[in-house]
Structure 1
Amino acid sequence: MARRLELHLTPEQRRELEDIRDNHPLRYMRERAEALLKIAEGKSGREVALKHLPKERQPDTVYRWVHRYQKEGVKGLFIRPGRGRKPKKRKDA
């Protein structure tokens, strides 16, 4: 059986994530902070991914957020450069 994902936060980390959840201008950062806070409360990563976020996510996605946060802090929650859909090349008229 797999080991349960746990996240232990200091009071300062908790306040930082709560501030991001409540005030950050980027929606995805608010969502990721919410996921981390739910896991720190003791909910499973799977439960958070499937029931406690605005959009249902794959559990592995939430696990990656937690691992990146543990390794890099809040900086690890941002989307990395070069990710996502590339802009369409324009033809100059």
Structure 2
Amino acid sequence: MDLKIQGYFIIGYCRKSKTTADNETATKCLQSMVLGLKESSLAQKIYVTVSCNAGTPFKKRDLKKNAIIDQLSGVSGNANTFLEIFYYN
């Protein structure tokens, strides 16, 4: 059953692991993940963490602004933006 038809608001999240990849590669990788979430999951809002380990607590992600996020299209914000909007309100 389509969750959007049932009235659910679908939120997507993706993150890039900490690697030595250059900014261009990281940007392409993240943009591909964002497009995948929009197309396959039909996410209406997508939040992105540019560089963190999987075990990093969500509230400790994206404490510093990363310029890569500004280069991505279709992104609503980072992990902190998500927490501010959906958790702390």
TM-score normalised by structure 2 residue count = 0.26
Which structure has more RCO (C-alpha within 8 Å, separation ≥ 6)?
2
Q: Which has the larger radius of gyration?
A: 1
TM-score normalised by structure 1 residue count = 0.25
Q: Which has the higher strand share?
A: 2
